[in-house]
Amino acid sequence: MTIRLSPALQNFIAAQGSWKNFFDNGSIEIYTGSQPATPDLAVTGTNLVIITSGGGTKTSEVKGLGILTISGTTSGTIDTCTLMGIDILGGAVTHTGDHNTTATAVALKINRNPANNLVVASSTGSSGVVTLTALPGFGTTMNAGTLTFTATTCTAAVTSTTFGSGTGGGTAGVAAANGLRMDYNAAAGVFTKDTTQTWSGTAIGAGTQTAGWFRYIGSIADAGTQDSSAVYLRMDGSIATSGADMNMSSTSVTNGAIQTISTFSFTIPAA
């Protein structure tokens, strides 16, 4: 068995989301040949089929962005940052005397706040800007959410009081469509595909070719290129008729033929 996880997926499971968050609204791409050594490498072989819900064209999710800016007097405190009625800051941050380093401190405070399950905060260390990026799965949910930023002495402002407004560097979230989903329940660490969905796709490879490996990608658009910055959530695995990560009744895939995955399960190891 050769299941391999991308560095981005490892980081995501460790600190930001869950296995279900990764699988939901994703898709499966099936290729010829052998899988790459690691999933952060570009895809190899010929893409034979893309598995989605009902074989529909997948609309990839776009994660919403909110922008916060620290300016004015270089003293005081950043007091609150509230999104969807939740204080995602979780306590005041004392101004460092420099807007840029203060923005970095605010981003770190947000990311360390256990009450924040909505966004990942980041700062480039310039212009006193903090960027809030929605976690996968929210789609358009937070687009109408109120975003506020308060401070004492210094100035704390939001680009727009509506998260993901698309103004001043913000980005409106876009919901995924026709993505795969896992069921809500798990037993003994095993969870399975959503039984209300048909996971299928029409073969696009020329003629008849042999499936060798697959890549499960998350809800966000992924061109399959090398991922040196650990951005894309990917899981690669082998394909065969038995004893592989994905077992197919036949690995021969003919152009135009419908390919269906009737069962899919994933087991979280107990140790």
Predicted pLDDT of residue 135: 95
The whole-number pLDDT of residue 1 equals 58
Q: Are 95 and 147 part of one and the same domain?
A: yes
Q: What is the signed CA dihedral for 74, 167, 138, 126, rounded to 10 degrees?
A: -30
Report yes or no on 169 lying in a domain: no
pTM over cut 0.75: yes
C-alpha to C-alpha distance for 156 and 71, rounded to whole angstroms:
6
CA distance 40 to 233: 9
Look at residues 69, 126, 118 and name the one whose alpha carbon lies nearest to residue 90: 118
75 shares its domain with 205:
no
For the chain, residues with pLDDT lower than 70 are: 1
Structural tokens at position 173: 């979230």
Looking at the fold, whether 69 and 53 belong to one and the same domain comes out as no
Sign, CA dihedral 176-182-185-187, equals: negative
Which structure tokens are listed for 131? 């960027």
Task: With respect to residue 172, please indicate whether it lies within any of the assigned structural domains.
Answer: no
- Predicted local confidence at residue 167, as pLDDT: 78
Whether residues 183 and 253 share a domain: the answer is: yes
Answer whether 195's CB lies under 8 Å from 183's CB.
yes
The number of folded domains in the chain is: 2
**186 found inside a domain:** yes
Whether 171 is in a domain gets the answer: no
